[in-house]
Amino acid sequence: MGSKEKNGKDGSEWNGSWNEENPTVQNGTMQNKAKLVDSKAIVWDGNGLNSNSSVTENTSNEKSAIDKLKKFSAFRRTRSLNAPSPIYQFGPCGRIMKNTALVMTIQDPASQRLTWDKPPLTVLVIKKLHDFTVIQPFVDLVKWLIWEKQMVVFVESSILSDPQLRNNQSFFAIKEKLCTFKEGKEDLTDKIDFIICLGGDGTLLYASSLFQQSVPPVMAFHLGSLGFLTPFEFKNFQEQVTNVLEGHAALTLRSRLRCIIVRHNESVNSISEKHTKPCHLVLNEVVLDRGPSSFLSNIDLFIDGKYITTVQGDGLIVSTPTGSTAYAVAAGASMIHPSVPAIMVTPICPHSLSFRPIVVPAGVELKICVSADSRNSAWVSFDGRKRQELQLGDSLRVTTSIYPVPSICAEDQISDWFDSLAECLHWNVRKKQRQLDEFPDLLHTSNNDSIDCKDVID
């Protein structure tokens, strides 16, 4: 969505989407301007919006509008997951000033489907460590990828020394055919076409940490404890992997946060010029906390350079929509679908009754600084790893990365997420309320005010 296409016979540029149930403008506008009339049709007015146009009272205009709709009938698709674009005309003469330099296009998540420019040849297989139940599925998968699919399989070098694998006779036949790597020692960016994870959510977080730029498509099988991010069952892995390799799969683009630590004696400009400062890409969250100190954290929060507030409490969680169902939800935050472009800011045990979690646009830059008058330092961790100390005056810069994690869906973006909420978190699980007809003596009472309905029904 967002790319302009010459779809009409008159050469008009269409920058939007269609709704199957109600074929009206949903996301975008025509260059010669489109207007919604009575939510039934579209009236095109090359001179701008015509506030006197009416479809219901003018049959000729209605026929003309229907003819216009037929031109685009071949370009309808499923309903957009993005919100409808608002009308930017306010009354007879007010409107939003156009600023082409600040236009950002977002592809409709419903249209995000996997395709391959060429057949994938290399696959990275990541398995959960120290779990005996994953050994046989790992061996079966690797053997099938090598012998049946003729693919080059990469694994972490530490797997070869796993004592549980060394005792597996089936593994000896394929051990020499595996390619290995060491975390932090080798760059896998241009080597891997496809990633398969066997385990829990931690395997997907680990796969994300291996790629600081573009991430290959990730297919995650549920062989761990929770499995919120692992939608696939392993029992028919051959069929499921084949479908993905043939390009029959939907994608959820899980945004990541780009985090840079700036010490109090450094400047952002000097860091950008030297290009030596390491950055951390996180899929779930970055956490600042008080560490081993017994004092409250004093953390200043800035958004796009504007001071917002000072966090006085145990710390602060800055999470992606994917991470909203992890540490953030345990701290009282809302759960956000991973396709929503947003950043969530959640305090940890704030010493304030009114400090609630907030959601900010994905395009802002957050600066989180340890206050100069703080009684103690702070500690920061990235997806639970690489924990380090921040001294007074040190800051953390957080923005949304341009490199998301393309997570392959077992079904689609909506079904997978709500299935995970129900199965993993038991979201809104409650014993169903009984009907009143099970209490016939109460249905004929003359004074309903005397019945405590909630107590009787429940």
The pLDDT tens digits of the residues spanning 191-220 come to 999 999 999 999 999 999 999 889 999 999
From CA 328, how far away is CA 344, in angstroms rounded? 8
pLDDT tens for each residue of the chain, 458 residues long? 444 344 443 443 333 333 333 433 333 333 333 333 333 333 333 333 343 444 444 556 566 556 655 544 444 445 566 666 667 666 567 666 776 666 566 667 777 888 898 899 999 999 988 888 999 999 999 999 999 999 999 999 888 888 888 778 888 888 889 999 888 788 888 899 999 999 999 999 999 999 988 999 999 999 988 889 999 999 999 999 999 999 889 999 999 999 999 998 887 665 555 556 789 999 999 999 999 999 999 999 999 999 999 999 999 999 999 999 999 999 999 999 999 999 999 999 999 999 999 999 999 999 999 999 999 999 999 999 999 999 999 999 999 999 999 999 999 999 999 999 999 999 999 898 888 875 566 555 555 554 555 554 44
CATH of 257-400, one of 2.60.200.30, 3.10.450.50, 1.10.3080.10, 3.90.1310.10: 2.60.200.30
The CATH class for the domain spanning 122-254 reads alpha beta
Contact 136, 128 (CB under 8 A): no
Burial class of 376 by CB neighbour count within 10 A (0 to 12, 13 to 18, 19+): middle
Q: Which residues are catalytic?
A: 201
Rg of the chain over CA atoms, in angstroms?
Answer: 27
* Geometric angle at alpha carbon 139, from 138 and 144, rounded to 5°: 100
Note the pLDDT of residue 278.
84
Report how far residue 266's alpha carbon sits from residue 395's, in angstroms, rounded to the nearest whole number: 10
- β-pairing, 194-199 vs 122-127, is parallel
Q: Is the dihedral of CA 320, 323, 329, 330 positive or negative?
A: negative
Q: Which residues contact 261 (CB under 8 A, 6 or more apart)?
A: 277, 380, 388, 390, 394, 395, 396, 397
This prediction's pTM: 0.74
Q: Quote the tokens at residue 457.
A: 């029904």
Domain boundaries, the chain: 5-111, 122-254, 257-400
Q: What angle do CA 88, 93, 98 make, to 5 degrees?
A: 40
pLDDT at 437: 74
* Whole-number Cα distances in Å, 383 to 256, 282, 283, 365: 11, 6, 7, 19
Nearest Cα neighbor of 280 from 422, 383, 188 is: 383
On whether the CB atoms of residues 458 and 438 are closer than 8 A, the answer is no
CA dihedral 312, 318, 322, 325 (to 10 degrees): -10
The whole-number pLDDT of residue 226 equals: 82
DSSP state of 250: B
Contact 283, 355 (CB under 8 A): no
What is the DSSP pairing of strand 194-199 with strand 218-222? Answer: parallel
Q: Distances from the Cα of 173 to the Cαs of 140, 237, 331, in angstroms?
A: 12, 21, 48
Give the span between the Cα atoms of 207 and 220, in whole angstroms.
Answer: 10
- 141 CB burial (10 A radius; 0-12, 13-18, 19+): buried
- How far is it, in rounded angstroms, from Cα 132 to Cα 129? 8
Degrees, nearest 5: CA angle 385-388-389: 150
Instruction: Say which amino acid occupies 96.
Output: I
